[in-house]
């Protein structure tokens, strides 16, 4: 006989959805990584106009991808080992 799968709900099924972290200063972490606060905003990296203006992969694109990677690593979502 197969055992039923059991999951723990993180939200309470509110019609408006769920939220993790109330402010950018609230710390969160995943998979045993120490919780961290939201990474700081960097205008040059978050400039979506610069990313959309070129069909070539350039240094701006690389910086944006690296920022995403650093954020996911810091949260414990991107495995590094």
Question: Which one, of 39, 34, 42, 38, lies nearest residue 24 by Cα?
Answer: 38
Q: Domain segments of the chain: what residues?
A: 22-81
pTM beyond 0.85:
no
Q: What are phi and psi of 28, to 5 degrees?
A: -135, 155
Question: Confidence class of residue 27 from pLDDT cuts 50, 70 and 90?
Answer: very high
Query: 65 in helix, strand or coil?
Result: helix
Q: How many CA atoms are closer than 13 Å to the CA of 67, on its beta-carbon side?
A: 16
* pLDDT one-digit tens code per residue, 12-26: 889 998 888 888 889
DSSP annotation of 78 reads S
| CA separation for the pair 58, 42 (Å, rounded) | 18
């Amino acid at each position: 006989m197969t055992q039923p799968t059991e999951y723990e709900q993180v939200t309470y099924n509110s019609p408006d959805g769920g939220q993790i972290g109330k402010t950018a200063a609230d710390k969160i972490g995943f998979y045993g990584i120490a919780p961290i606060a939201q990474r700081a905003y960097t205008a040059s990296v978050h400039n979506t106009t610069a990313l959309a203006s070129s069909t070539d992969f350039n240094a701006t694109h690389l910086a944006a991808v690296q920022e995403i990677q650093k954020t996911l690593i810091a949260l414990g979502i991107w495995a590094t080992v």
